[in-house]
Chain A
Amino acid sequence: KAGVTQTPRYLIKTRGQQVTLSCSPISGHRSVSWYQQTPGQGLQFLFEYFSETQRNKGNFPGRFSGRQFSNSRSEMNVSTLELGDSALYLCASSPKIPGQGAWTLNTEAFFGQGTRLTVV
């Protein structure tokens, strides 16, 4: 069974440009979450999607956006890149339908290897 696939693996962009990162979840997984990892701030939650709808959003400026397609693949976009956006962006997929219930707590999230974005 293929894992979570993130493309591209590495990316170099210039300040002011925009970038789109892609995440293909494990087949059958319908929930996708995005995280930003930096040496200074650690791992921070960006947003989560299920059935093409954003369910949760972290404390990031509006320059960060995402979407999910009907096949559960997700993209995140960062516009007007800043040097501080340089980070490892991780995507995670989960197999169960999110909602109110204890089972959502113990459902494992499967992570991709990430996209390392460098803004120069």
Chain B
Amino acid sequence: AQKITQTQPGMFVQEKEAVTLDCTYDTSDPSYGLFWYKQPSSGEMIFLIYQGSYDQQNATEGRYSLNFQKARKSANLVISASQLGDSAMYFCAMRELNTGGFKTIFGAGTRLFVKA
């Protein structure tokens, strides 16, 4: 069964520093996609970055990059130059091709606190 594990319930980072949020996953489907979402206190889930299981290069989107280690089933999110507005919950998520449709499984999340 597919599963997402985020082992860091909370993380602190100093403003302007980089931070890595951990995510490991488990799936038997060779074709899958990995996502990171940000959820501010307003509740809305904001898409940050995507990595496909067959992508050769790590995904990057502005200050966000995904450190994809397929053999270790790891998909860590790296946020560079943290900003106060980055304080939020961050969710790692996965979608399997064999499931069909858009069913997405989420991890428990990591709450990030950015200190001024």
Contact = CB atoms under 8 A, between A and B. Distances in A.
Interface of A: 31, 33, 35, 42-45, 48, 50, 55-56, 58, 88, 90, 92, 94, 98-102, 104-114, 116
B47 A110 contact: yes
Contact of A106 (B44, B50, B101, B105): B50
Interface in B92-109: 93, 95, 97, 99-109
B102 A33 contact: yes
Given A99-B100, A100-B97, A45 B105 contact: yes
Interface string B20-55: 000000000001110001000011111100101110
B90 interface: no
Contacts of A110: 47
B44 A109 contact: no
Contacts, number: 82
B33 A56 contact: no
Interface of B: 31-33, 37, 42-47, 50, 52-54, 91, 93, 95, 97, 99-109
A106 B97 CA distance: 10
A92 B102 contact: yes
Given A102-B31, A106-B50, A116 B43 contact: yes
B20 to A, nearest CB: 21
B47 A108 contact: yes
20 contacts: A33-B102, A44-B106, A48-B103, A50-B101, A56-B102, A92-B45, A92-B102, A98-B101, A100-B97, A101-B97, A102-B52, A102-B97, A104-B97, A104-B100, A105-B31, A105-B53, A108-B50, A111-B44, A111-B45, A111-B46
B101 A109 contact: no
A117 B99 CA distance: 29
Nearest to A46: B103
